[in-house]
Structures are given as structure tokens and as C-alpha cells.
Structure 1
Amino acid sequence: MESEKVAIIGAGWAGLQMLQSLKELGVEAEVFESRSEVGGTWTPEMSYHGLQVHSPMYTNLMTYKGQAFPFKGMNRETLLQKLDAESVRVYLGDFAEKLGLKPKIQCNSRVKEIRYHSKSQSAYLSVESNGREVEKGPYRLVVFSSFAAKASFPKIPAQGFQGKLIHSSQFKEEVMDEIIKKDLKVLVVGGGKSGCDMICAFQKKGYKRLTWLFRSPYWFLKYGAVVHGGSPLGMLRGFLFLFSLLLFLVSNKLPVFVGWLVGYFVLPKSEGALPQHFDGRRFHFGVLDEKQVNFVEQVAAKQGEPKAVTKEGLLLESGETLKCDVVIYATGCETGFGDLKLVKDGEVVTVEDVPLYHHAVVPNFPCLISASTAFYQFGPSRALTMAQYITWYLQAAPSEEEMEAKARRNWSTQSAGKSNGFSSDRTFVAEFLLFYLDLWRDQMVSMFGVLKIFADLFVFTKMSPLQLNVGKMPAFPTSFPN
């Protein structure tokens, strides 16, 4: 493996963790980052005003040589808290700096094209760096490790709107200040986590000229239920919640009902004694604490289907117009995978709808691995598993025919260009479970290993990576303070 070189696209926490883990495993790697600094989602370019990590910090720790890399002020109390985007950015920068990773990271370097030569099994990158295009390589593998690279705008026609139309990633502090100063009427579009974050940011400022539009409210995990501190009641509820997740394999509504019943789920802006719906498609593992729930409950909400942005505001399919001066699309992000040009033996290859081998390798372009679809675990710990997978794949060298045959029988329907994480037409948890079952059928994981990572997370309140049956797993902390 020491003679094999790996290129990683993206210097977010997964890309950085992968770089460090591969270094520990004796695999040479380097990272290409399109922005001017490391941090991915948490950089000023992508992070919005008020952004925090969704989960407690003990689930988002970077690791090195079997130790947890500390963040500023880390102690038992802060491990249970959610850091803001700036703190996470500084944390990731410190990780890269203090572990000597900077020489292996090329910032301001956007990968435009990957050229693969099947005879030599070598890949070359065309990289746009500081205004000029350069070639990098050869590499044995290229890992696409960008999860939220670009804003995803909805396809809503704009018909003469005179106000401000932005994506949530463009919602910076100066935008907030301008809105407050000019007393502008704001419409937030989108019922997911970023929509809630927009609402909470305004609520913290006491700003009331605000309306929230969504097709249907989303379900969220209760922060207090997840971070239960190891109490017997909390562990019991965590176990019952795990059981409810397994029910997603047979039902779309029953597991949500059970999760709500045991006190793990909350559905903000739902009128009446019972929740408005138990639709499992409206749950993507978003987390809200009690204060955030209270914030969003106080805001005027509207359900409807957007039709067009007109001169006065947002026109709904019902014919009603929601008048506003500012529209904020809290509609998520895209991985940016589709922006890559792939050339194999001199011919352009299309892979967007191609099913993946082990949900990682593009079978007809076997030098390319997608870390955004191989979503083994939440937070940066998933990169430890990816590093383990890479150590196996570099030596396994399965044929393209073998990989294509196995990929075609996947139960999870995600493809090279569409990660489960950004799917709105399928039930995320069901697809997530099918992803694990696909790995189990291919003998890459054990059922015990899969159940363990979720039991650790929800029952024992600690984070552990998914361990594969193949390759070398980097050392990782066996426990975190609770």
C-alpha cells in the first residue's frame, strides 16, 4: 500500500479525518480543497448565520492514533454541547495544523476532471488552482469526500420579484443586520433543519416579521432524549428507539409513531393533540433541543406548494400570495459530484445513475470512490471506516464486471450522483438500513457491528465507527466522556 497514492477531494471533517487515518495506516494521500481553507460546511463561505452542529460534540470529535483530538475548552460539560460553525472551523484548522497535515492539503484547488487509464489503473486530475489549470497524478484512487459542496435551489420560477432572494448558505450576519435595519418582511422556505435554524436565528434577535413556509412539517430527534447521560430511563428509551428504527424496514409510519410514543421524536408546528402526520419521509435525523422547539413554535407557519416568486412575494398553487421582501430558501445542499468530468481511456463516462459497488466504488470508473454515499456513520468517524475500506480495496482489485454485478443487486437505491442524504422522495432511514444490509450481504460487515454503532450512540451515549470485516481499521478511542 505504501506505493499506492490516494487523492481526496474535499477538506471537510471527513476528508481531514481520512487523510490522518490513511497516514497512520501507511497509505500516502493528499487533499484538494476548492476553498481557501479547510472546514467544508463550517467555513464562512458555506456556513450561515447561527449555524451549529446538530449533535453533541462527543459525536463529532476528530481522532488520531487512538486518541480524541481536543477542542478549545473541551471538558465533560462542553462535550454535551453543540459548537457553533466558527468553533468547528477553528477546531478543524487546529487538527490539520497540529498533526502536520497542511503540506498534504492543497487549498484553492478545484478538481475539474478525472482521467482514468484502465491499463495502468492510474488516475490523473485536472485541477484549477489560483487561476490556472494543472495536472496532478498519477493516483491509484480518488475519493470524493464532499457532502455539502453547493447550494441546492428549488426550481421555482422568478417573475419580477424586486426583493432579496437567497439560499440559506448566503444568510450571513451582515444580511441579518440589513434585514433588521430596514425592517424587511422575511419568508423562510423549507421545513428541514436549516429552515429551523433560520427561524431560530431570527428569534434570538427578537425579530418578528417572519413567516415559515413548508409542504409538510419535519420530524426531529429531541436533543435531551439523545443526550441522556447514561441514566437507566434514558438507556431504556434509547433501546426502544433503536427498535423503532428497525421497524422502518417494514413500515413508513409505525416506527415514527413508536419513536414519538417513547419520547424521542418531536414534530414542530403540528396542530392538535396528536401530531399532524407520522410520515417517515419527513425525518432525516435532524436534532432540535427544547429551546429550538420553543423558538419555531412561536413563528407563523404556512403549509403549501410554491408556484412562483412574483413581484409581491411567493405565489402558492392555492392562489394565495405570501407577501415578503426577502425569500430565504432553506432547501439543503448538493454534493457537487455531478460537476466532475470523468474520462476513461479517452472517452467521457457518465456515472450519475450508476449503482455503486459497496455503495462506494463507481464500477465503470473503478478509480473513483464516493465517500458521500458510503455513509457508514454520522460525523467524522465515518472516515475511519472509509480509510479501512481503502486499505482493503487497494489490494482486492475486483474486476469491473464483478463490481457491476454486485452493485446491480443493491437494495438501497442510491446511485453515484444521488446520496441518500439528499433524497426527499424516499424514506431516509429505510434507505440507510438497506445500505447496511447490502454491506452485510456482501460480507463486509456483521450484524453485530451495525447494531453496535447504534447501540453505542443511542443507548450508551458514545460514538464509535463502523468496523468492516476487511482491511485495517485505524485506532480510535474506545470511549468518550459522557
Structure 2
Amino acid sequence: MESEKVAIVGAGWAGLQTLQSLKELGVEAEVFESRGSVGGTWTTDMSYHGLQKRNLMTFKGQAFPFKGMTEESLREKLDAGSVREYLESFAEKMELKEMIHLNSRVKEIRYHSKSQKAYLLVESDGAEVEVEKGPYRLVVFSSFAAKEDVMEEIIKKDLKVLVVGGGKSGCDMICAFQKKGYKQLTWLFRAPYWFLRYAPVTTGGFKGFLFLCSLLLFLFSYQLPVVVAWLIGYLVLPKSEGGLLPQHFDGRRFHFGILDDKQVAFVEQVAAKQGEPKELTKEGMQLESGEMLKCDVVIYATGYETGWGDLKLLKDGEVVDAGDVKLYHHAVVPNFPCLMSASTAFFQFGPCRGLTTAQYITWYLQAAPSEAEMIATAQQNWSSQSAGKALAAQGDDK
């Protein structure tokens, strides 16, 4: 593997962990980050107001705990600034910065099937020309795109806000506004989503064991595991309409989002409306029922964009579409075998995924499966995930 080289797109949590783990494993790698600093979601221009993170997640491989970590702090959530400082110190202490190209946006990947090598077309801030980088045996896409925050402008103008989407993104938006004391909010969704309760997750114990066992029931039913997890107090369904029982037990509306008690309280304070959006008008959002929800701003919190679709892929000079292709091992694009998606590689959760992704990369570089083998294996996938989104964020897909 000494002759192989890997490129990583994105210097967020996953990108940094993958880079450090590959370094430990003796694989040469470098990172391309479009922004001016490491940190991904936690950088200043991407972390919205009140963004928090579970303190349970730390970098793996070489032990690198949060500064001042205690048994008590393990049950708290960190603010974005603390996480950003932690990520930057990790890159510094592990001597990764010399392998990271900041202000470098990957525009195109060119793959040559005969040599099995890939080249990147990179656009750098302040440069008038795009530069070709490579060759690489594998390109790991470990990036999520986001829009700059406009919350301050909304609050300053006292605009009426409609948040559309009942999942984790919708809750994040609601909590972000609530933390600023802003009340001009309405929440619209088709049906409420289930969330993990933060306190039981950090406690573990016998109930935690029962919850892990209940997840196996997803092999047979969408409803039964949710019922079990709710009964033992691990799940909550905010803004559920109805009586004593939750409105539904549909496991397809459970994406492993986590809410602590304060976040649940924030969400419960917001006016919520269930319905199907029809069209935008000058007054606001009109529903299929005919009801009009008046607002000045609509925030669509119905999913996320990874930036995957912005990449131009060329294989032997021909454009390749990797949007709906089934992935080899849920990770590598079989008809473009130099490209791997870190967000779909469900080998683990959190930073552990960066470590196991690096381990997988070392296996892949040595195994060197043929395109025919990868395509045949990918066709056996039970899931219908797409390359641009993580498996747990596919709406009603399996």
C-alpha cells in the first residue's frame, strides 16, 4: 500500500479522524477543505446559534479526550465553540495540518480505468486557475454543505418564521430560535418524528441493554421496536396529537435523533401544525386542506445536502452519474471505483466511523476488487439508499 495515495474531501470530524487513522495505518493521505479552517459543521460560519454536541463522542485511535473531561461532563452537551476548539487542537497535536489544504474546493474527479488512478480538479480561493491534483487510488467524500446563518437578520426584522419538517433538522431550527428567546415561530410537518431521550442514552444499564435488543426487531417490523423502546422510556414523540398513547409507532419516522429534556421543552412550546404543504403565496404557506399559514420566512428543514451532487465525475473522459447507483459495501461507487462516500459507510457511528472507514480503506486498497465484482455485490444490497445521503436519513426508504 506504500505506493497508494488517498484524497479526503472535507476536514470535519469524520475527515480528520479518517486522516489520522490512515496516518497510523501507514497510508499516505491528504485532505481538501473548501473553508478556511478545519471543523466542518462546527466552524464559525456553519454552526448556528445554540448548536450543541454530545460529549460522549471523542476522537478514537490515539486517545484524545476533551480538555477537563470528567464523569459528570460526559453527561452534558458541549457548545459549538468548545467542539471547534477541540477539533482544531486535535489537528494540531496529531500533526495533521501539513496534510490539509484549506480554501480548496474539489470541483471535478477524473478517473482513468486503465491505470485505476484518479485526479482532482481543485479550485483555491484567490487563485485564477483550477489546479489538478493526484494521482490517487481512492477519493473519500467526507463533506456536508450548508448555507450561511441568517438568523440574526430574521430576529432583527422580527419576521414570522415557518419551519417545515418534523425531523432532527426541524427540531434543531426550533431550538436555535428558542435559545435566542425568539417566539415568532410555527412548525409544520406531515407527522411527528420519534427521538431518543438523551438522559437514558447516557445512563445505559439494563434498560440500555433492552433498547439495543429492541433494535433487532427492525428486521421484522417497523412498529414493534418503537413500542418497546417507548415503553422502557427511551423514545419520545414531541408534538404528538391524541390522548395517552402516541399518535403513531412508525419506525420509519425515527432517524436516531437525540433530544435532551430542555430541547423537548423548547419544542413543546412552539405552535405546531400537521398538514401537507401545497404552495407558497405572498401571505405564506397554503396547505392542501386550504388553510393558510401566514409567515415572512420559510425554513425547509426536510433533509440536507452533502455537496455530492456538485462533483463532476469523469471516467475515461466520459461523464458518470453516481446519484442513484447502489454502492459496494454501502461505501464505494462500483462504476466509479475511485470514489467512496464516508456518510453512507455505516461501519460505525460518530468518530468511530472515521477509524473503521480507514481500516476499510486499507482492506479495499489491498483487495482491489474488479468493477464487475463490485456491481454484482452492490445489486444484493437490501437498502435503497442513494450515494448522496446517509442511510438513516432516507425518509420512508429502508
TM-score (norm. length: structure 1): 0.79
In structure 1, the partner of 2:105 is: 110
1:37 maps to what in 2?
37
Match status 1:134 vs 2:113: no
Asked if 1 retains the 8 angstrom alpha-carbon contact of 2:343 and 2:389, the reply is no
Instruction: Go from structure 1 to structure 2 and tell me whether the alpha carbon gap of 1:341 and 1:310 turns closer, same or farther (over 3 Å shift).
Output: same
Structure 2 equivalent of residue 337 of structure 1: 308
C-alpha change, 1:299 and 1:116, in structure 2 (3 Å) is same
Cα distance between partner residues in 1 of 2:186 and 2:259: 19
In 2, the alpha carbon distance for the partners of 1:248 and 1:213 equals 28
Shift of residue 186 of structure 1?
2.2
Structure 2: runs of 5 or more not aligned: none
In structure 1, the partner of 2:166 is 191
Q: 2: CA distance between counterparts of 1:185 and 1:226?
A: 35
Distance 2:227 2:150 in 1: 35
Q: What does residue 15 of structure 1 align with? A: 15
| Alignment CA distance shift 1:253-1:133 (3 Å) | same
Residue 302 of structure 1 and its aligned partner are, at CA, apart by 0.6
Once the two structures are TM-superposed, the CA of residue 187 in structure 1 deviates from its matched residue by: 1.9
- Tell me the distance in 1 between the aligned counterparts of 2:183 and 2:370: 60
* 1:235–1:391 distance in 2 versus 1, CA, 3 Å: same
| Structure 2 residue aligned with 1:269 | 239
SS at match of 2:8: strand
User: What is the letter of the counterpart of residue 12 of structure 2?
Assistant: G
Contact 1:334 1:422 in 2 (8 A): no
Return the offset for 1:374: 0.6
Kindly provide the CA deviation profile for residues 422-470 of structure 1, in whole angstroms up to 9, marking residues without a partner as x. Answer: 31122xxxx4xxxxxxxxxxxxxxxxxxxxxxxxxxxxxxxxxxxxxxx
RMSD: 1.7
TM-superposed CA distance for 1:116, in Å, is: 1.1
- Cα pair distance change 1:391/1:37, threshold 3 Å: same
Q: Which moved more, 1:310-319 or 1:193-202?
A: 193-202
What's the CA shift for 1:22?
0.5
Aligned length: 395
Match of 1:201 in 2: 176
1: CA distance between counterparts of 2:166 and 2:314?
39
Residue 37 of structure 1: how far off its partner (Å): 1.1
Residues 1:63 and 2:60 aligned together: yes
Q: 1:204 to 1:47 in 2, by over 3 A?
A: closer
More off after superposition, 185-194 vs 395-404: 185-194
Map of 2:200 onto structure 1 = 225
Aligned residues of 1:49 and 1:171 also touching (Cα < 8 A): no
> For 2:29 and 2:339, how far apart are their aligned partners in 1?
14
Aligned to 1:466: none
Provide the rounded CA distance (Å) in 1 between the counterparts of 2:141 and 2:326: 16
Mapped contact 2:49–2:179 kept (Cα < 8 A) = no
1:49 alignment counterpart: 49
**Structure 2 counterparts to residues 75-474 of structure 1, below 5 A:** 75-130=70-125, 131=127, 132-146=129-143, 148-150=144-146, 170-172=149-151, 174-175=152-153, 178-179=154-155, 181-228=156-203, 234-271=204-241, 272-426=243-397, 431=398
Range with greater deviation from structure 2 (89-98 or 415-424): 415-424
Aligned residues: percent identity? Answer: 75
How far apart are 1:137 and its partner, in Å?
Answer: 0.5
**Contact 1:352 1:418 (C-alpha < 8 Å) held by counterparts:** no
Aligned partners of 2:32, 2:199: CA distance in 1, in Å?
A: 38
Q: Distance in 1 between matches of 2:336 and 2:181?
A: 52
| Whole-angstrom distance in 2 between the partners of 1:398 and 1:368 | 13
Structure 1 pair 220–377 and aligned structure 2 pair: CA distance change class (3 A):
same
> Residues 353, 209 of structure 1: CA spacing in aligned structure 2 closer, same or farther, 3 A cutoff?
closer
Residue 220 of structure 1: SS of its match in structure 2?
strand
Aligned counterparts of 1:415 and 1:318: Cα–Cα separation in 2: 32
Structure 2 match to 1:462: none
Aligned to 1:456: none
Give, in whole Å, the separation in 2 of the partners of 1:35 and 1:199. 27
Shift of 1:83: 1.1
Q: Give distance in 1, aligned partners of 2:94 and 2:206.
A: 39
Q: Where does residue 231 of structure 1 map in the other structure?
A: none
Gaps in structure 1 of 5+ consecutive residues: 152-168, 229-233, 432-482
Q: Distance in 1 between matches of 2:305 and 2:180?
A: 29
Residues 26-67 of structure 1, C-alpha deviation per residue, up to 9 Å, x if partnerless?
1110000111111111122322211112xx312x101343x1
Contact 2:48 2:176 in 1 (8 A): no
- Residue 74 of structure 1 pairs with residue 69 of structure 2: yes
Q: Deviations over 1:316-364 (max 9, x none)?
A: 1111111122322223311211211111112112221211111111111
| Structure 1 contact 189–214 (Cα < 8 Å) conserved | yes
Structure 2 length-normalised TM: 0.95
